Amino acid sequence: MKALDPRLTGAERSAVILAQISEVVDIPKDAAYKQGAETIHFTNFGSLTDRHAIIEAMIRRGLASKGRTKRCGMYDHAVTSFYILRKSGKKKFISITLKHGGTTPAKHGLAAEKEAAHAMTNFFASNDLSTEYTAEASGGSGHGKDVKIKNIQTGHMAHSYEIKATDGSRTDFGQCVLSYDSQTGWVQETGQENEALKSAFAILQDKLNAAVRPAQAPVGPRFNDTDAALFWHSYMPGRTNSICGDVMSVKIPPQLIEDYYAAKGNEYIIVGDNVYSLGGPKLSSLSSVIENATALFRIKYHGPK
pLDDT, tens digit (0-9, with 9 covering 90-100), for 103-131: 555 555 667 788 788 888 888 888 888 88
Total-model pTM: 0.62
Give every CB contact of residue 141 below 8 A, 6+ residues apart in sequence.
106, 109, 110
* Structural contact between residues 245 and 298, judged by C-beta atoms closer than 8 angstroms: yes
pLDDT digits (tens, 9 = 90+) for 248-274: 999 999 999 999 999 988 888 888 778
The predicted structure's pLDDT at residue 146: 82
220: nearest Cα among 207, 210, 211, 230: 230
* Structural contact between residues 92 and 38, judged by C-beta atoms closer than 8 angstroms: yes
What is the mean pLDDT of the segment spanning 146-169?
Answer: 83
DSSP designation for 212: -
Instruction: List domains and CATH numbers for the chain.
Output: 2-98 (3.30.460), 105-164 (no CATH), 178-299 (no CATH)
* Gap between the terminal Cα atoms of the chain: 55
Residue 124, SS3 per DSSP: helix
Highest mean pLDDT of the ranges 79-83, 100-104, 230-234: 79-83
101: nearest Cα among 159, 47, 52, 27: 47
Highest mean pLDDT of the ranges 71-75, 94-98, 111-115: 94-98
* Structural contact between residues 89 and 55, judged by C-beta atoms closer than 8 angstroms: no
Q: Which residues of 204-235 are buried (b: 16+ CB within 10 A; e: fewer)?
A: bbeebeeebebeebbeeeebeeebbebbbeeb
The predicted structure's pLDDT at residue 102: 61
Long-range CB contacts for residues 41-46, cutoff 8 Å, separation at least 24: 41/96, 41/97, 41/99, 42/14, 42/18, 42/96, 42/97, 42/98, 42/99, 43/99, 43/100, 43/101, 43/102, 44/99, 44/100, 44/101, 44/102, 45/98, 45/99, 45/100, 45/101, 46/100, 46/101
